[in-house]
Structure 1
Amino acid sequence: MATIKELAAMVDGILAGDGDVMVTGLNDLERAGPQEVTFLADHKLADKLARCRAGALIISPPLAEQCTIPAGMALIKVSNPYLAATRIQNFLLATPFAPTGVHPGALIGEDCSIPEEVSIAAGAVLGHRVRLGRRVKLEAGVVVGDDSVIGDDVVLHANVTVYPRSVLGNRVIVHSGSVLGSDGFGYATDRQGNHHKRAHLGIVRIEDDVEIGANCCVDRGTFGETLIKSGAKIDNLVQIGHNVVVGENTLIVAQAGIAGSTVLDRQVVLGGQVALNGHLRIGAGVMVAAKSGVHNDQEPGAVVSGMPAIEHKKWLRASIAFGKLPDLVREVRELRRQVATLSADNQANNNSGKESGDE
């Protein structure tokens, strides 16, 4: 719990109204009660304010001037209401880590380093020489391979698999079913068409503050590392190939796939179902629209769409043109018919002229 005044100070907001009201949580405009705070980031939702019962509203100053605020509702004015609401909600939901220790049903290998401040659930399996940081939480069915290193405040949800020698930094979150460190997709094909598996001797390294969604796969390097840099956020069902580098604070949306040895610089955004070819360099701040296929390097700041991906505005124009293709085909057919008719008429006139001349 905290007072509205304390929450406003936390997000560097400007307080208007009674700041001494104690609030216990954050909720949306329709559900928030008098002891809760809510937020408005989109003018399209302003009509919901009339029925809102929240004790305080997080809102931008320009939007506050455009809206009718219910009487008695305190305001926390900030430039980015969505960000401020996220920070406040995280603060209100935060609970101290409560270590439960190692469950008797967990299997721990030899020479592991496990602090007292951990929670390891039944069915978790740690290989040999695993090193855990403080306040690590391993849920049921988690498997951590030999010689892996896991930093402080890491949460591995149920049935996460971490292959041997993987390295996870601090405050990493991995959701259920994800696999870190599996073999990359690499084969050599002989003249008979047989595929011979290549050994993958590298590792996966995950830096601090990375979150990986459910059912993702991050392959280890053929040699060296597959590297997910600090602050990257990866949605569900994402495939990251061997020796890929994902830059700081990059966002990768569900069902995207990155082929081996591609490097993403910082703050790249990949939309859902985006596919990146291997051995590419994607510059800082690049944005790739959903379902695009990228086959070449991208300069920093580029915004691309389509398959193959091209400059976004050009793709939009091409998409509009594509929708007109049936009409264009009909027009071309009609023009061809008219040309054929004119040509036939012209040929007939020429033939008629020749016959007149012969007479």
Structure 2
Amino acid sequence: MGFTVKEIAAALGAKAVGDVDLSVTHAAEPADASPTALALAMNPDYGDTLINGSAQVAVLWDGADWQALGLKAAIIVARPRYAMSSLTKLMDQGPDIEPGIHSTAVIDPTAEIGKNATIGAFVVIGHLVKIGDNARIASHVSIAKGSSLGSDILLHAGVRIGPFVSIGDRFIAQANATIGGDGFSFVTPEKSSVEKVRENLGDQGDINQQSWTRIYSLGNVEIGDDVEVGSNSTLDRGTIRATRIGRGTKIDNLVQVGHNVQIGEDCLLCGLVGVAGSARIGNRVILGGQVGVSDNIFVGDDVVAGGATKIFSNAPAGRVLLGSPAMKMESQIEIQKALRRLPRLMRQFSELQKSVSKNGEKD
């Protein structure tokens, strides 16, 4: 499988120079690029590597002198990272799913499958499920009763879709993602230690031995268009109302979204994020890896939270957060600088204390 320089430039909306009919088979970093590879050299730091390497064709930064770099052809891009989205889309071959519906797939007779569906081995599609056109469903996927999925979806191997889940168009779920499992919701006959601690900020009061009783999840999950969910991530169904994920939101691997959570449009949730039940997250929010969001709080539009931040209270729109507990990033950085100075300050304090004591003894 090959692509000409001209074809790649057209896909990227970029300028092609040199022998635009040259063909490449794959993309590679400059140091590893063979004569048949497209070298991704998107900033001047890669110049020497290209000159001394084997690449004949490269994607280059704006203003690069491609001929001086010893290339036969080049593609010039203004925003390299954005160009990567179009390039990888062009070259991605997608999952290996044979066309048509595999003989081992189990599809309920009441299910509605759109045109041009590709359904892999051992897929199970339940009662009254609806799936739009051009669906690609890899092996061992299960879709429970009453769920509705839009057109052009891609479900990788082992994805689990629970009952009555509603998903829009162009949804992508990576391997073993689970959408629509029961929420983690339990209650005790009398006030539990958790309830007491919340009321008294740390005091459990009289400890009462009692068992947990499940609160079942009667709600569902509603997901907008152009949403992606990573491998082994879980989106719990709501208790009564739906858990909702807005259009264009992207969720990384190993993310937990609790019951009743509302997430807005065009958000990014990176790996190991945990959003507790009934939290509300606005539009265009970015949560870095290992960020935690407490239950029943609101995170405003355009908030950015750095890695491992713990958000325990409402966050206003546009705030940049870091740390545990979360605070303005610049404040957290100042605190960390001060913490590093503490040992030296304590030594100085100890010396001053000794000096004061000695002077006091002399007096």
Q: Same fold (TM over 0.5)?
A: yes
Partner residue in 2 for 1:7: 8
Q: Tell me the equivalent position of 2:322.
A: 305
Show the 5 A alignment for 1:81-100.
81-93=80-92, 100=99
Report the equivalent of 2:178: 179
> Gaps spanning 5+ residues in structure 2: where?
191-207
Larger Rg: 1
Could you tell me how far 1:112 is from its partner in structure 2? 0.9
Look up the SS of the partner of 1:30 in the other structure. Answer: helix
* Separation (CA, whole Å) in 1 of partners of 2:44 and 2:325: 36
* Residue in structure 2 matched with residue 269 of structure 1 by the alignment: 286
Closer/same/farther in 2, CA of residues 53 and 252 from structure 1, 3 Å limit: same
Tell me the TM-score normalized by structure 2. Answer: 0.86
Map 1:97-246; keep pairs closer than 5 Å: 100-115=99-114, 117-191=116-190, 192=208, 193-246=210-263
CA distance in 2, matches of 1:240, 1:95: 27
Q: What is the percent sequence identity of the aligned residues?
A: 31
Structure 1 residues 92-135: Cα deviation after superposition (integer angstroms, max 9, x where no partner):
33579976333332222341112352232332222211112222
8 Å Cα contact 1:243-1:260 kept in structure 2:
yes
Distance in 2, matches of 1:29 and 1:242, equals 46
How far, CA to CA, are the matches of 1:15 and 1:117 in structure 2?
Answer: 35
CA shift in 2, pair 1:73/1:81, >3 Å? farther
CA distance in structure 2 between the aligned counterparts of 1:92 and 1:223, rounded to whole angstroms: 43
C-alpha separation in 1, matches of 2:299 and 2:328? 14
Count of aligned pairs between the two proteins: 344
Preserved CA contact (<8 Å) 2:115 2:132: no
Give yes or no for contact 1:245–1:263 (8 Å, CA) kept in 2.
Answer: yes
Could you give the per-residue CA deviations for residues 185-229 of structure 1, whole angstroms, max 9, x where no partner exists? 222233344333222211112222222111111011122221222
- Asked whether the 8 Å contact 2:124–2:140 carries over to 1, the reply is yes
Whole-angstrom distance in 2 between the partners of 1:73 and 1:313: 48
Output the CA distance in 1 between the equivalents of 2:265 and 2:141.
26
Counterpart CA distance in 1 for 2:14 and 2:141 is 42
Q: Which amino acid aligns with 1:317?
A: E
- Counterpart Cα distance in 1 of 2:289 and 2:154: 25
**Root-mean-square deviation (Å):** 2.5
Aligned letter for 2:39?
T
Tell me the amino acid that sits aligned with residue 268 of structure 1.
Answer: V
Whether the 8 Å CA contact 1:25–1:89 is kept in 2: the answer is: no
Q: Name the CA distance, whole Å, in 1 between partners of 2:47 and 2:314.
A: 43
Q: Distance in 2 between matches of 1:33 and 1:119?
A: 35
Please list, as runs of the form range in 1=range in 2, the aligned pairs for 1:71-82 lying within 5 A after superposition. 71-82=70-81
Q: CA deviation at 1:86?
A: 2.9
Indicate conservation of the 8 Å contact 2:97/2:138, yes or no.
no
Structure 1 runs (4+) greater than 6 angstroms displaced: 95-98
Q: Aligned partners of 1:228, 1:91: CA distance in 2, in Å?
A: 28
TM-aligned CA distance change 1:185 to 1:97, over 3 Å: closer
The correspondence for 1:315, drawn from 321, 324, 332, is 332
Query: Matched residue of 1:101: which SS?
Result: coil
Unaligned runs of 5+ in 1: 347-359
Contact map agreement 2:95 2:138 (CA 8 A) in 1: no
> 2 CA distance for matches of 1:220 and 1:33?
49
Query: Match for residue 326 of structure 1?
Result: 343
CA distance in 2, matches of 1:214, 1:93: 18
> Within 1, Cα distance between the matches of 2:19 and 2:67?
18
* Cα separation, 1, equivalents of 2:251 and 2:33: 30
Residue number in structure 2 paired with 1:352: none
Deviations 1:53-95 (A, max 9, x none): 3343222224x26x98422432322211122133123213357
Offset, 1:305 = 0.6
